[in-house]
Each structure stands twice: as structure tokens, then as C-alpha cells.
Chains A and B, each alone.
Chain A
Amino acid sequence: MSGLVLTEEPLQFGEGGRLSGVLTQPDSTSVKVRNPQVFVFLNAGLMHRVGPSRLHVRLARELAPLGFSSLRVDLAGTGDSPRRVGLTNRQSVAADFAEIKKFLDLRLGDVPLILFGLCSGADNAVRLTVGEQRVIGLVLLDPYCSSNGHIVEKARATYFRWLKPFQHIVALKKRLVPRALRDVPYHELPRTVFLTIREAVENRLEPETLRDVPTQDQLRAAFLKIRERKGRILSVFTLVAFQTYYDQAGQLGRVVKVDGYDEFCTEVFWPEATHTYLLEVHRRRIIEEVKTWAVGYSGAK
């Protein structure tokens, strides 16, 4: 790929070459500064490694001229990587991450890592941070952030849970039921789906509870670790977060309650963007936001 400021290499790595990914690196002849930090893009839900509307591809390619390498990888069970049979999602993600580190050790050495994740990708990034010293940065798009007891949040929860129970059920159904069954009347749903919704409703679960989100303690622990490692965190909250759990700028900082939060964390509240950055105008902006944030690492350890 001569003439470009980056090189890209498709990969099959891990046990039996089970993990598929693409390693993007700055071209040493064209890029003067090479930063040691490597961005690792984790899948957003079931989307494959290119990210929603190729967000991960474009970010990796725009970070390369700034001197950053990136690994976009399909975790087991997503994209081109087969599922790990018999493991829970968390065990599977942990096993994948061990293989990612092993691969990066072999190819790039003991490099510091910046984990990038949208939605469930952010949840995975938070959980992986605590146990891995090498993670010195996080880019979290719509990470889960519990309530900090703000009056607006409480009012919204009450409104939906008690005054609009039907909407509450609809929201749960949307999360739980495959698209093909969404138009099926509640009472005609297959028994397993019906029981899952009933259980969720009876236990008064919030829709976001159905995502395997980190606990508030895990979230706080991840933030403390990043601070301890002198790293940085960028969190961006979009429309879906606003509609479900995030309704005030700065809410995450108030929830994690970590001293010096503003010194190492950047929190962006951006309700005009959609959760998966469907529009180019919003993708362009998030790419610029991440690039600006990443430049802060140049020269950092």
C-alpha cells in the first residue's frame, strides 16, 4: 500500500486462528511520530469489526496519520470469528482479550492499550480495564451510567414505570423480542419469550438492565485504575442514553465519584446524535472528537 500513510493487514490469530481482525499501522516512511498506544476496537453488539456504518474502519484509518496503530477485532461469536462454545459472554470476551494481548505482544511488544467500545463494547471495555494494567485509556460511546438520584431522572423513571406501564412493557419487549415477533400480540408470543418479558415486567426491570452492564462498583474501579495509570477517558452520550438513562450533562462524573475526574475524563453529552451514528454528519463529528482527544496522548507514556 505504497503512497498511503498507513498499512493494513487482515489477521487470523488466537488458538487455531479463530479471531479475525485487521491491524492498521502508521506507515513508518510517511508518519513522523509513532505513538506507542494501540487502539483496540471492541465490537458494538453483534456488528462486525467495521463498526456501525464503518465507524471503526474510518477511525482506525484517521488515527494512523496521527501515529496510532489500531486493532479492529471480531470477538468470538461476532463478524468472522466463530463462537466459543460453552462459555458465558464474559468468559468468552476475557478469553478473546487474552488472545488479543498475546498477539499484540508478539507483533508490537508490550504496548499500552486504549479500548474503544460502543454500547456493549463500552461495557466490555470497562470490565476488561480493571484487570489489565496495560489499559491506559478508554473511549466509551454510550456506556451505561446509573442514576445519581437526580430529580429529573427519578421523575422519568416514575413516569414510565407507574404512569405509563404499557410503554414500559413495549420498551422491554423491544429489547427482548426478535424483530420478526415484535408485531405479534403479547399473549400470542412463544412461551419462552412471553415468560421472559413477564419476568422482566414482574421484577420491574429497567430496559437497560437487560444489557450486561457493569455494576457501579466496576465502573468506578475502572475509572480509578485509569487514573492510577495516568491514563484518560472519553465518554460520549447520545440520544439513546438520553432517552433511557442519561439526562444531565456530567451525570457520569457524579455517578463514579472519582477525585480529579475532570482532569483525566472528558464527558460529552450529545443528544442530537443517534446511538449508532447513522448519519455521516454525526460520524464526522465523533471521529474529530476522538482524534482531538487522542492527540492528547502524543508524547504520553
Chain B
Amino acid sequence: MQEAFFFGESKHRVFAHYHPAARGDGQILTVICPPLFFEYMHVHSALRNLAIRLSEGDQNVLRLDYRGTGDSFGDIEEFGVSDWVDDIKLAVQEGRKISGSDDVHLIAVRAGALLAARSMEALDCVRRLVLWDPVADGATYLQELRDLQARCIEQHFYMSGADRVEASRECAGHLVSNRMIEGFATLDTNVYASVQKDKLHVICTRKANELHLDGASHFVVPPACDWSAIETRITIHPVMSELLKACLASS
């Protein structure tokens, strides 16, 4: 059974789902940090299934929507990277309060990995950080999204000139603030380097996209997830699911 709720400041509330552990002592809280923009839409159902699977064991699981995404309050352009990092910290705090768990694990997907790694600086309680197809560099990631937007506009024969101009200011179909662009520019592989290596597990679904971090455990698990497609649906392959569970359970 899951429970949905809002938490945080009244004007910008964060939405989350809490899945209590079905068995065991429930001493572990796993917080799922989703990806951003359209990638979140594609993986929503997979992350829900993952949360259910983990909570069927002995883990309490919390899934959050960053502010301006999903059911949380606000629009993306109102926020910056630091706000989303704060959302993760707040989610950990809230999850610990609800679950009573002392040990926290984070699973972070794509750009969520950059945010989660940054949040680790202030989260001593996190014992494990599992990254799924992590984005290596924030600035490159934003540029890829802009390129995607440009391709989308280019292929759209029926768009008026005025719409093209307006759409070219968007990033993956969203307006983003300068604060966010600046924030992403500060997130590169160094953000992962600051995480204690024995806590870090990296799972990639495509060899070519593998992010290699010295000292961390690495896995490459096909089939590759097609994150660059604007309209697709990402599922969790059973092998991936087992691997995520194993990474969270490993000592």
C-alpha cells in the first residue's frame, strides 16, 4: 500500500509517494530521485514498479517529484538546481520521520544522479548511492536537450515563424531559468568524485554511456534505455531490477 502526500513549504510543496516495507524491521529508507523533463514521464511507471518491489522486501521507499515537476507545486522555470537538491534533502528528512529509518539509500536516475550526488554533501545518513544511467555533466546534458528541441522544431513543418522563435527559447519543451542553466554548469563529474567511493554504485544500460568513477562499483546491464527519444516508455528489465536490489543490499 502506498501513501501520497505533500510536504515542505506551503507555497511550493513537494509531492511524494511513500511505500512502507512489507516485512522486516524496515530500518532502511530508499529515496528514489527521478530524472528530469520528459525522461521522468517515460520512467514514471518503471520507478513505481521498482518502489513496489523494494517495499515488498524490507525497505521503506519514498518517491519524490522535484518542485515544478510531476504533481509538485510550481513550474520548472521558477526553480534552480539548488532547489531540487534541497528537495532531495527534505525528502530524506521527511522519509526518515515517517519511517523511523536511520539508514538511507538513494537511487538516482539520469540527471537525478547529479542532484543526488550534490545532496550527499549534506546527508551523512546516506549509506548507499545507486546511479542508473547517470548524466556525466550538467552543461552537456542541457545542451543535448536544446539540440533535441532544435531538431523537434526543425522537423515541424507547420510551425509559424513566431512559434519557432518562441520555442527556440525552450529546453526540452520547457522554459528554464538562468539560475537553472548556471546551476547545471556547476554540476560535472567532480560532483560524483566528492562522494565516498564505497557508497557509490553505477549502473549503465549502454557501454558507450558508461560513466567511470574510480573506486566505485560499475555494471553494464543491457538492454539499453533510449533516453534521447522524446516519446518512449522506459521499463526496468528484470536483470536491472535484481541488480538495483543487490546494490542496495550489498555491504
Contacts and interface: CB of A to CB of B under 8 A. Distances in A.
Interface of A: 1-4, 8, 10-12, 17, 20, 22, 46-50, 52-54, 57-58, 78-80, 179-180, 239, 242, 271-272, 274, 276, 278-283
Contacts of A281: 163, 166-167, 170
Contacts of B231: 276
B69 interface: yes
A92 to B, nearest CB: 16
A3 B166 CA distance: 31
| A1, A49, A242: most-surrounded residue (chain B CB, <10 A) | A1
Contact of B6 (A10, A50, A53, A276): A10
A135 B163 CA distance: 35
Contacts of B175: 280
Nearest to B226: A179
A57 B10 contact: no
B5 A272 contact: no
B70 A50 contact: yes
Interface residues of B, number: 40
Contacts of B48: 79-80
A179 B226 CA distance: 9
A162 B167 CA distance: 37
Interface of B: prevailing SS: loop
B215 interface: no
28 contacts: A1-B13, A3-B11, A4-B11, A10-B4, A10-B5, A12-B4, A20-B4, A22-B4, A46-B233, A47-B41, A48-B41, A50-B70, A53-B173, A57-B70, A57-B71, A78-B45, A80-B2, A179-B226, A180-B223, A239-B156, A272-B158, A278-B38, A279-B163, A279-B170, A279-B173, A280-B170, A281-B163, A281-B166
A17 B160 CA distance: 46
B206 interface: no
Contacts of A52: 41
Interface string B163-187: 1001100100111000000000000
A79 B156 contact: no
A282 B1 CA distance: 37
A79 B233 CA distance: 12
Given A10-B5, A280-B170, A281-B170, A54 B232 contact: no
Given A1-B10, A3-B10, A47-B41, 5 more contacts: A4-B11, A46-B233, A80-B17, A276-B231, A280-B175
B159 interface: yes
B167 to A, nearest CB: 5
Q: Which 3 A-B pairs have the closest CB atoms?
A: A10-B4, A272-B158, A281-B166
| A11, A48, A280: most-surrounded residue (chain B CB, <10 A) | A280
B75 interface: yes
